[in-house]
Amino acid sequence: MSDTALTPGIRAGRLDPAELADNFADLHPVLDDHEALVAADRCYFCHDAPCITACPTDIDIPLFIRQIATGTPEAAARTILDQNILGGMCARVCPTETLCEQACVREAAEGKPVLIGRLQRYATDTLMAHGTHPFVRAAPTGKSVAVVGAGPAGLACAHRLAMHGHDVTLYDSRDKPGGLNEFGIAAYKSTDDFAAREVDWLLQIGGITLQTGKRLGRELLLSDLRDAHDAVFLGIGLGGVNALGLEGEDRVGMRDAVDFIAELRQVSDLATLPIGRDVVVIGGGMTAVDAAVQARLLGALNVTLVYRRGRERMNASRFEQDLAASKGVRIITNASPIAVHGNGAVREIEFEYTDDALTATGQTFRLAADQVFKAIGQSLECGDLPDLEGRKIAVTGAGRTSAPGVWAGGDCATGGDDLTVTAVAQGRDAAMDIHATLLG
């Protein structure tokens, strides 16, 4: 029996194509030339700029904004990309409201920061529109590096290594590269297939051979990679999804939020994507918010996001929380799921209120649900790895693992925090450490 037969509330085409196109339009449209100049003119060009300190990739923000202000956006892009080769995507998805823009002096003085993220997008989009790659590959070193995982960390590592003349083989378990940027980000944050276009642009550096459908522990063994290459970088992300641990969790209508977002990002026609009438999302991070908002944008009538702690403890930023509320998502906090009700398919989810220490209060409530998205965190799902610290690969310095000649970065390694910009920084820094090691 099909899912739709068991759960008649789940169906495709709740909204017409025009509504869907409007709902999934660019969250922050690019600035035009005049808007960019006006926004850049607000920058104080601080000498000891707190925004630089707040940026995980240490971009010289006052410099690139000054370059925009003087009419040289391509020079601004070079300043950005020199530190963050995925600066275009980071400008779209980075939580600037809690990083560089929160640290902005204008934010402290006026409550209105310089539009750093949108200015970064303006600069990088301008450069990419011209199609010219701004970096030149160095003379070949004769060294070979395996980069496993073509997400933000792996892409940043591969590009920096290739730029320094090393030959890189970039492996990924999926059928296309991009990782989180391609499969895990809300569609309205990355429109017009930007994630794939950015990868194609990045690969113009040369010296990078891409192999898809290769998963560590299945088609790839770490020992074989170490034998075949001079160094290995692991940027494999977190492939496993945490379970609720409840009876009935396998009922029809129960889905992992990451799978839902990946399917949405890859579908060619949003009108063909089934969505429930009453959707419940369990979790409090960016993935939970992305799933909840997109469920509403697809036409779900009632969408409720439930998180076990208070709002101030949600990993999703206040901006993301407010965005969800503005789209009609109801947010319930201090409540944990305790039961899944239904006969073959989910019909209700039962929750119990908790206090700030996650102690059950005994007060329960139920939410009608024909579709439930679980977004309670991901885990490392792979064997054949260097030593772990907790549930991630243990690293020291610039990503060195316990295995000689093996580095790691991004969400799979200690220090990773589910942000594209942090993964880029770790991949870049590991690449520089690998480069220094290979050249003695």
Tell me the whole-structure pTM to 2 decimals: 0.96
Q: For every one of its 440 residues, what pLDDT tens digit does the chain have, with 9 covering 90 and above?
A: 345 555 778 999 999 999 999 999 999 989 999 999 999 999 999 989 999 999 999 999 999 999 999 999 999 999 999 999 999 999 999 999 999 999 999 999 999 999 999 999 999 999 999 878 999 999 999 999 999 999 999 999 999 999 999 999 999 999 999 999 999 999 999 999 999 999 999 999 999 999 999 999 999 999 999 999 999 999 999 988 999 999 999 999 999 999 999 999 999 999 999 999 999 999 999 999 999 999 999 999 999 999 999 999 999 999 999 999 999 999 999 999 999 999 999 999 999 999 989 999 999 999 999 999 999 999 998 878 999 999 999 999 999 999 999 999 999 999 888 899 999 999 999 999 999 999 98
Under 8 Å CB-to-CB from 163, ≥6 apart: which residues?
Answer: 135, 136, 137, 138, 205
CATH architecture assignment, domain 33-129: Orthogonal Bundle (1.10)
What local confidence, expressed as pLDDT, does residue 418 receive?
A: 84
Alpha-carbon gap, residue 154 to 237, rounded angstroms = 9
Q: Which fold is adopted by the domain 144-239+380-438? A: FAD/NAD(P)-binding domain (3.50.50)
Instruction: Report in angstroms the alpha-carbon separations of 329 from 187, 322, 386.
Output: 17, 9, 41
Please give the pLDDT value at position 437: 98
- What sign for the dihedral angle of Cα 139, 141, 144, 148? negative
Spatial CA neighbour of 380 closest among 241, 286, 285: 241
pLDDT of amino acid 381 = 85
Give start-end residues of each CATH 3.50.50.60 domain in the chain. 3-25+242-377, 144-239+380-438
CB burial string 302-313: b at 16+ within 10 A, e below: bbbbbbbbeeee
Q: What is the CA radius of gyration of the chain?
A: 22
Residue 318 has, within 13 A of its CA and on its CB side, a CA count of: 5
* Contact by Cβ (8 Å): 199, 155: yes
Report helix, strand or coil for 424: helix
What class has domain 3-25+242-377?
alpha beta
According to the model, what pLDDT value does residue 6 have?
53
What is the per-residue pLDDT for 313?
94
Residues ≥6 apart with Cβ < 8 Å to 27: 92, 186, 188, 189
Start-end of CATH 1.10.1060.10 domains in the chain = 33-129
How far is the CA of 312 from the CAs of 77, 318, 339, 379, in angstroms?
35, 8, 26, 24
